[in-house]
């Protein structure tokens, strides 16, 4: 499909059945209410993007000739395949943009609802925000890719977090991903850098600065003598991958300058696999993203 990368990522998440609908979150033990905020039906991906009364109204106002399903599938990707089987010649670019718009509108409504709830309830405890975070924006036209890793010893697994921003501090993409592997500290930090590089490439970014709070991993990328066997293959893969970019550097930062990536790495503990955000800031790091860009020129928090 000839459409924006964020829409392609949305469809990839739908294909993998990892859109964080209320029903999906409830199945994972996150929250107990799976009701749609528009009509009180159970919110599966198929409901949110197809059979909800709000979605039905949106689809009816498009110029697409779509079929009617008496009992639509629960998962949206199954509905997509059913449409493809019966109406393969529809404008799939328009279909994709419409579906993404429905999901984006749903997320905005959900975020507004959560904000109202938090105003009257005890706020969710969040990691402390440093008063003056040393996050430094990349050069104009370049994108900074902050990465971090976390180990969950009690589960025998680990997680990584990735946050990609432009020179104005606006979020381009983010990832929280869980690995069912008992990696050590260096291994998970190296893996986080690799995943950050791959996400940047998938988003079509050509000039990047990879940034990690693991000084040993950063130094291993530039000095072969410091390369440890346990991370050798990953480091070599990163070196080769960076050659594909027009410009790429790797820098070290303190933990206080890497808070959003650290939070997403810890968040991976709650996941089955991964979540990717494209031009959409994860709610759990909104405050930290805004705090990082405080004082930057020509920045509007409403755009983040």
Residues 248-302 have pLDDT tens digits of 999 999 888 899 999 999 999 998 888 999 888 899 999 888 888 775 644 444 4
Phi, psi torsion values for 150, nearest 5 degrees: -145, 140
Closest CA to 159 of 195, 125, 131, 126: 195
DSSP single-letter state for residue 294 = T
Distance in angstroms (rounded) separating the CA atoms of residues 158 and 211 = 19
pTM over 0.75: no
H or E stretch including 179? Answer: strand 171-179
H or E stretch including 163? Answer: strand 157-165
Residue 73 has pLDDT above 80, yes or no: no
Closest CA to 222 of 251, 247, 194: 251
Residue 98 sits in the same domain as residue 246? no
Report how many domains make up the chain.
2
Is 76 in contact with 52 (CB distance < 8 Å)? Answer: no
Q: Ramachandran region of residue 212, left (φ > 0), alpha (ψ -120 to 50) or beta?
A: beta
Residue 80 sits in the same domain as residue 159? no
Residue 125 is predicted with a pLDDT of: 53
- Cite the beta strand spans of 48-93 per DSSP E: none
Is 10 within a domain? yes
Residue 117 has pLDDT above 80, yes or no: no
Range of the domain at 237: 143-303
Is 132 within a domain? no
CATH number of the domain encompassing residue 272: 3.30.420.10
Residue 63 has pLDDT above 70, yes or no: yes
Give the rounded distance of the alpha carbon of 50 from its chain centre: 23
Residue 30 is predicted with a pLDDT of: 65
């Amino acid at each position: 499909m000839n459409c924006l990368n964020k829409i392609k990522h949305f469809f990839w998440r739908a294909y993998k059945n990892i859109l964080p609908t209320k029903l999906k979150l409830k199945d994972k033990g996150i929250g107990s209410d799976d009701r749609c905020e528009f009509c009180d039906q159970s919110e599966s991906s198929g409901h949110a993007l197809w059979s909800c009364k709000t979605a039905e109204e949106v689809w009816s106002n498009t110029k697409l000739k779509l079929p009617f399903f008496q009992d639509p599938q629960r998962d949206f990707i199954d509905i997509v395949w059913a449409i493809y089987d019966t109406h393969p010649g529809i404008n799939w670019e328009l279909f994709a943009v419409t579906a993404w718009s429905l999901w984006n509108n749903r997320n905005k409504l959900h975020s507004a609802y959560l904000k109202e709830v938090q105003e009257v309830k005890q706020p969710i405890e969040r990691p402390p925000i440093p008063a003056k975070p040393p996050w430094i924006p990349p050069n104009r036209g370049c994108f900074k890719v902050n990465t971090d890793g976390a180990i969950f010893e009690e589960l025998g697994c680990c997680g990584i977090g990735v946050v990609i921003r432009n020179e104005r501090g606006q979020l381009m993409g983010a990832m929280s991903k869980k690995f069912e592997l008992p990696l050590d500290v260096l291994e998970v930090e190296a893996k986080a850098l690799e995943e950050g590089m791959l996400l940047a490439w998938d988003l079509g970014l050509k000039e990047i600065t990879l940034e990690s709070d693991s000084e040993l991993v950063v130094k291993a990328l530039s000095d072969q003598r410091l390369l440890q066997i346990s991370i050798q293959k990953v480091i070599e893969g990163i070196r080769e991958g960076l050659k594909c970019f027009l410009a790429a550097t790797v820098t070290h930062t303190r933990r206080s300058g890497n808070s959003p990536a650290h939070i997403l790495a810890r968040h991976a503990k709650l996941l089955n696999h991964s979540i990717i955000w494209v031009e959409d800031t994860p709610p759990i790091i909104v405050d930290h993203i805004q705090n990082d860009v405080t004082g930057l020129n020509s920045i509007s928090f409403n755009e983040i």
